[in-house]
Amino acid sequence: MSLLNQVHQQLGLMSWPLILCSVITLALWLERSVALLWVSLSGEQAKKKLRQSGGSYATVQDAQSKSLILRGCSLLVGHKDSDKAIREDLAGLWLQQQSRKLHSGLRILTLVGVISPLLGLLGTVLGLIEMFKSIGLSSDPVTPALLADGLGLAMSTTAAGLLIALPAIAGAQLFGLWADRLLGKLTDELNQCNLQLEGVQIGVRS
């Protein structure tokens, strides 16, 4: 509690909103890192499994696999008797679902990155208002040291807001790029699977 009290004294009224933003940012960083890393590693294992099977997608029958590649290919193989256009529509809908999952939480990170500096700026303004009120009610002479202390305390909320916003915005962009890269690889594999089901023999990419 002493640490929270110190933070509250430094940040004033905006301490709790800023603490909440920092917790959300940290939680989403950890969750997205683990989730995307798991998808990436399971995808590499799926490619290895496909290479060991001779690159044949037609043998994939694992709709409950932890790998998105195997689940997607299993979906197409399950509809191998359907027209190619129907399989493409199924793959497109399935990829949209996976895209939403892979990009989950990134909008919240972006929102935190936008709100945090504004909360910090609001805290600074409120701190300056309180400082000038105290100076106006005080009969003691105003010294440079008193102003420096008051301004430093007020500006700390702006610094805190920026420190939260930077990893939030960076995380949203980096995780978005990572998710797009994974989706690109997944799309390539499904396209190859669909072509192979049509009788077009292709190799599995490394």
User: 134-178: per-residue pLDDT in tens?
Assistant: 777 767 776 666 666 667 777 888 888 999 999 999 999 999 999
Residue type, 153: L
- Give 197-203's long-range contacts (Cβ < 8 A, gap of 24+): 197/57, 197/58, 197/76, 197/77, 197/80, 197/84, 197/87, 198/84, 202/55, 203/55
Q: Note whether residue 37 is domain-resident.
A: yes
Q: Note whether residue 160 is domain-resident.
A: yes
Verdict on whether the full-model pTM lies above 0.85: no
Q: Note whether residue 204 is domain-resident.
A: no
Mean pLDDT rounded to a whole number for the chain: 83
**Dist. CA 22–CA 26, nearest whole Å:** 6
Chain-centroid distance, C-alpha 34 = 11
Which of 67, 72, 71 is CA-nearest to residue 39?
67
pLDDT of residue 195: 83
**Dist. CA 176–CA 120, nearest whole Å:** 26
Q: Is the pLDDT of residue 15 over 90?
A: no
Q: What percent of the chain has pLDDT over 70?
A: 78
Per-residue pLDDT tens over the stretch 2-14: 655 666 666 667 7
Domains contained in the chain, number: 1
pLDDT of residue 204: 46
pLDDT of residue 148: 67
Q: Note whether residue 58 is domain-resident.
A: no
Q: Note whether residue 57 is domain-resident.
A: no
pLDDT of residue 149: 65
pLDDT of residue 155: 81
Q: Note whether residue 203 is domain-resident.
A: no
Per residue, the 3-state secondary structure of the chain, as one string, reads CHHHHHHHHHHHHHHHHHHHHHHHHHHHHHHHHHHHHHHHHHHHHHHHHHHHCCCCHHHCCCCCCCCHHHHHHHHHHHCCCCCHHHHHHHHHHHHHHHHHHHCCCHHHHHHHHHHHHHHHHHHHHHHHHHHHHHHHHCCCCCCHHHHHHHHHHHHHHHHHHHHHHHHHHHHHHHHHHHHHHHHHHHHHHHHHHHHHHCCCCCCCCC
Q: Which residue has the higher pLDDT, 107 or 196?
A: 107
Q: Which residue has the higher pLDDT, 74 or 116?
A: 116
**Cα angle, residue 101 at apex, residues 20 and 108 outer, rounded to 5°:** 25
Q: Note whether residue 61 is domain-resident.
A: no
pLDDT of residue 95: 93
pLDDT of residue 202: 60
Best-predicted range by mean pLDDT among 21-25, 72-76, 83-87, 131-135?
21-25
Domain interval for residue 18: 2-52+66-197
Per-residue pLDDT tens over the stretch 91-117: 999 999 999 999 999 999 999 999 999
Q: Note whether residue 60 is domain-resident.
A: no
